Amino acid sequence: MIVDDDVGMRETIGRHLRVSGFDVVSVATGVEGIRTAQGTSIDIGLIDYHLPDMDGIDCVRTLLEERRNQSLRLLLFTADWSVEERGSELRQLGVTVLSKLCDLHDIEAALRRTMAS
Protein backbone atom coordinates (compact mmCIF):
# COMPACT_ATOMS: atom_id res chain seq x y z
CA MET A 1 0.00 0.00 0.00
CA ILE A 2 1.28 3.45 -0.92
CA VAL A 3 -0.05 6.38 1.13
CA ASP A 4 1.00 9.68 -0.47
CA ASP A 5 -1.00 12.77 -1.39
CA ASP A 6 1.27 13.42 -4.39
CA VAL A 7 -0.55 11.64 -7.22
CA GLY A 8 2.52 11.69 -9.45
CA MET A 9 4.64 10.04 -6.76
CA ARG A 10 1.95 7.42 -6.08
CA GLU A 11 1.58 6.60 -9.76
CA THR A 12 5.32 6.45 -10.46
CA ILE A 13 6.13 4.24 -7.48
CA GLY A 14 3.03 2.12 -8.02
CA ARG A 15 3.83 1.52 -11.68
CA HIS A 16 7.40 0.48 -10.86
CA LEU A 17 6.30 -1.86 -8.09
CA ARG A 18 3.60 -3.48 -10.25
CA VAL A 19 6.16 -4.18 -12.98
CA SER A 20 8.39 -5.67 -10.26
CA GLY A 21 5.65 -8.09 -9.20
CA PHE A 22 3.98 -6.29 -6.28
CA ASP A 23 0.21 -5.96 -5.90
CA VAL A 24 -0.27 -2.26 -5.20
CA VAL A 25 -3.06 -0.27 -3.59
CA SER A 26 -2.58 3.51 -3.52
CA VAL A 27 -4.40 6.11 -1.44
CA ALA A 28 -3.96 9.85 -0.85
CA THR A 29 -4.58 10.33 2.89
CA GLY A 30 -3.76 8.75 6.19
CA VAL A 31 -7.42 8.05 6.93
CA GLU A 32 -7.78 6.25 3.59
CA GLY A 33 -4.65 4.24 4.38
CA ILE A 34 -5.99 3.21 7.77
CA ARG A 35 -9.38 2.23 6.29
CA THR A 36 -7.70 0.31 3.47
CA ALA A 37 -5.47 -1.60 5.88
CA GLN A 38 -8.48 -2.48 8.02
CA GLY A 39 -10.51 -3.71 5.06
CA THR A 40 -7.93 -5.63 3.06
CA SER A 41 -4.92 -7.86 3.54
CA ILE A 42 -1.95 -5.48 3.34
CA ASP A 43 1.54 -6.91 3.89
CA ILE A 44 3.56 -3.71 3.66
CA GLY A 45 2.89 0.03 3.61
CA LEU A 46 4.93 2.92 2.26
CA ILE A 47 3.66 5.97 4.14
CA ASP A 48 4.52 9.57 3.25
CA TYR A 49 5.35 11.79 6.23
CA HIS A 50 3.53 14.88 4.94
CA LEU A 51 -0.10 13.91 4.45
CA PRO A 52 -3.01 16.36 4.21
CA ASP A 53 -4.98 14.96 7.16
CA MET A 54 -2.29 13.75 9.58
CA ASP A 55 1.43 13.31 9.66
CA GLY A 56 2.88 9.99 8.60
CA ILE A 57 4.06 9.13 12.10
CA ASP A 58 0.48 9.36 13.41
CA CYS A 59 -0.68 7.23 10.49
CA VAL A 60 2.03 4.65 11.22
CA ARG A 61 1.18 4.55 14.93
CA THR A 62 -2.53 4.08 14.19
CA LEU A 63 -1.79 1.33 11.67
CA LEU A 64 0.42 -0.45 14.20
CA GLU A 65 -2.15 -0.11 16.99
CA GLU A 66 -5.11 -1.23 14.86
CA ARG A 67 -3.44 -3.73 12.56
CA ARG A 68 -5.38 -6.88 11.98
CA ASN A 69 -2.47 -8.45 10.12
CA GLN A 70 0.27 -8.96 12.71
CA SER A 71 2.88 -9.28 9.97
CA LEU A 72 2.16 -5.79 8.57
CA ARG A 73 5.45 -3.98 7.86
CA LEU A 74 5.68 -0.22 7.44
CA LEU A 75 8.12 2.24 5.91
CA LEU A 76 7.91 5.99 6.46
CA PHE A 77 8.86 7.87 3.31
CA THR A 78 10.13 11.44 3.72
CA ALA A 79 12.25 14.25 2.33
CA ASP A 80 12.20 15.93 5.76
CA TRP A 81 15.57 15.35 7.45
CA SER A 82 14.18 16.21 10.89
CA VAL A 83 11.96 13.13 10.60
CA GLU A 84 14.93 10.98 9.59
CA GLU A 85 16.69 12.18 12.75
CA ARG A 86 13.80 10.63 14.70
CA GLY A 87 14.48 7.36 12.92
CA SER A 88 15.60 5.54 16.07
CA GLU A 89 12.19 6.13 17.67
CA LEU A 90 10.49 4.74 14.58
CA ARG A 91 12.88 1.80 14.24
CA GLN A 92 11.97 0.80 17.82
CA LEU A 93 8.43 0.45 16.49
CA GLY A 94 9.76 -1.70 13.64
CA VAL A 95 9.35 1.06 11.06
CA THR A 96 11.95 1.74 8.38
CA VAL A 97 12.58 5.40 7.52
CA LEU A 98 13.30 5.90 3.83
CA SER A 99 14.45 9.10 2.12
CA LYS A 100 12.40 10.38 -0.81
CA LEU A 101 15.72 11.27 -2.41
CA CYS A 102 16.35 7.62 -3.31
CA ASP A 103 15.46 6.11 -6.67
CA LEU A 104 12.75 3.57 -7.51
CA HIS A 105 15.12 0.62 -7.28
CA ASP A 106 16.15 1.71 -3.77
CA ILE A 107 12.47 1.89 -2.76
CA GLU A 108 11.86 -1.58 -4.15
CA ALA A 109 14.96 -2.95 -2.38
CA ALA A 110 13.89 -1.38 0.93
CA LEU A 111 10.41 -2.89 0.60
CA ARG A 112 11.86 -6.33 -0.14
CA ARG A 113 14.31 -6.09 2.80
CA THR A 114 11.53 -5.00 5.12
CA MET A 115 9.25 -7.82 3.99
CA ALA A 116 12.04 -10.35 4.53
CA SER A 117 12.75 -9.17 8.09
- 90-101 pLDDT, tens digit each: 777 778 888 888
Separation of alpha carbons 114 and 23, rounded Å = 16
In this prediction, residue 85 has a pLDDT band, given cuts at 50, 70 and 90, of low
* More confident position, 80 or 49: 49
Alpha-carbon torsion (55, 24, 79, 63), positive or negative = positive
Domain count, the chain: 1
Q: Could you list the residue range(s) of the whole structural domain that residue 32 is in?
A: 2-116
**pTM, full prediction:** 0.90
Question: Measured between alpha carbons, how far is 92 from 71 in angstroms, rounded to an integer?
Answer: 16
Contact 49, 77 (CB under 8 A): yes
CATH code, domain carrying 40: 3.40.50.2300
How far is residue 77's CA from residue 107's CA, in Å, rounded to a whole number? 9
CB 72 within 8 A of CB 37: yes
Task: Round the average pLDDT of the chain to a whole number and report it.
Answer: 88
pLDDT of 3 higher than 90? yes
3-state DSSP helix/strand/coil % of the chain, to nearest 5:
50, 20, 30
pLDDT of residue 82: 67
